């Protein structure tokens, strides 16, 4: 019984450590957002992004009336996989 309790306790501690790390990351992101210095960590390297001609947070946003239009918008995963290339609607 004692070994079973130790194993269960160890699993609980590991789970708690995971939650603690998530909370710590969220706290850091919120602090960075508050100071205006948040920089998203990209999974792709700068070289891969240049090769695929990807530039995050670029483009033009125009607010008009009550509709949304996408003009040549690509949907790309953080790993750089292109899900949809230059969708328009």
Handedness of CA 46, 47, 52, 53 (dihedral sign): positive
Give percent helix, percent strand, percent coil of the chain, each to the nearest 5.
Answer: 45, 10, 45
Q: Give the Cα separation of 7 and 1 in Å (integer).
A: 10
pLDDT digit string, tens, across residues 48-89: 778 777 777 677 777 777 888 888 888 887 767 778 888 888
Q: What is the pTM of this model?
A: 0.44
Q: Tell me if 80 sits within 8 A of 43, measured CB to CB.
A: yes
pLDDT digit string, tens, across residues 4-53: 888 889 899 999 998 999 999 999 989 988 898 887 776 777 787 787 77
């Amino acid at each position: 019984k004692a070994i079973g309790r130790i194993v269960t306790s160890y699993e609980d501690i590991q789970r708690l450590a995971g939650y603690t790390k998530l909370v710590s990351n969220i706290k850091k992101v919120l602090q960075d957002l508050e100071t205006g210095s948040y920089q998203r960590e990209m999974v792709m390297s700068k070289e891969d992004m240049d090769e695929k001609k990807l530039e995050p947070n670029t483009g033009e946003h125009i607010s008009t009336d009550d509709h949304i239009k996408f003009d040549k918008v690509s949907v790309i995963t953080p790993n750089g996989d292109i899900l949809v290339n230059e969708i328009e609607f």
